Amino acid sequence: MKHAGGFSEPPKRASEIFPELPPTTPPGGVATQSVRAKVPSLADRAQLKHVRFTTTGFADMHEHGDLVPSFLRARKTCFIDGLGWELPCTEGMEFDQYDTPECRWVIMHEYGEILGGLRLMPTTSRCAIYTYMLRDAQLGLLEKIPRDVLFSEAPVSPTVWEGTRLFIVDNAGSKRRHALQLALFEHMLRSAEHMGAQHVLGFVPDGWSRWTKRLGLSGTPVGPKVTIDGVVSQAAVMRVQTALSRFAKVV
């Protein structure tokens, strides 16, 4: 595989790029204790009694007051102020070329305060020269992400969506951060499923990857580990239905 000038191998089929995730139980049908212990519990859910989730886009964001502007301001606090990323910012709101009418924002909030969220984008999207982040990196359109970020040609499919800008605010509270992470992850998957996604593709920090593995939610790596601004990250894909099966049904 070539690093800067493209890929020497022909494009592969989607089934080759996105293999099935491992089954929810190992051979023999006995689930591991480490996975079962990490499934959301009643105690976890009790901490989120007043937390709400809203998945919205340009077409209906007017129905939610100032929720989207507040969400973009929280992104600015996290990614520009906190992490020092060089991103566009206007009137205290962080945004980029992927915040288009084709994206959906999954927003976690409580009593009007933003707790976290993320952005979902179909891999079929296009706005001028841009499509979605990982594909644009592969096409050489993004300066900081290497072109060989994926092992194979980036997918373009209505059943594959990309997740980006995932965050939880610093003041969310350490005691319930784990529960918030789980809840946000679950609602990301449910939103993606609602929009017809079978896989969610992302470029995730190594720390987040280890966290999801502890939950039994680890996806399939589809790219090499790369270091950007001192952070080791890797492209990975997760099968939506397999991941959702990990979450307990609490009644």
Residues of the chain predicted below pLDDT 50: 1-39, 249-251
Angle ∠(223,241,114) on CA atoms, nearest 5: 80
Q: How high is the pLDDT of residue 3?
A: 36
Domains of the chain: which residue ranges? 41-244
pTM: 0.81
Q: How high is the pLDDT of residue 215?
A: 66
First vs last C-alpha separation in the chain = 50
Q: How high is the pLDDT of residue 32?
A: 27
**Nearest of 160, 167, 169 to residue 185 by alpha carbon:** 167
CA–CA gap between residue 68 and residue 62 (Å, rounded): 9
CA–CA gap between residue 195 and residue 188 (Å, rounded): 11
Which position has the token pair 């089934």? 15
Q: How high is the pLDDT of residue 23?
A: 31
Q: How high is the pLDDT of residue 56?
A: 98
Listed in sequence order, the residues at least 6 apart from 194 whose beta carbon sits closer than 8 Å to its beta carbon are 55
The sign one gets for the Cα dihedral 242, 244, 250, 251 is negative
Q: How high is the pLDDT of residue 209?
A: 67
- Residue 212: count other Cβ atoms within 10 Å of its Cβ: 19
Query: Could you tell me the CATH superfamily of domain 41-244?
Result: Gcn5-related N-acetyltransferase (GNAT) (3.40.630.30)
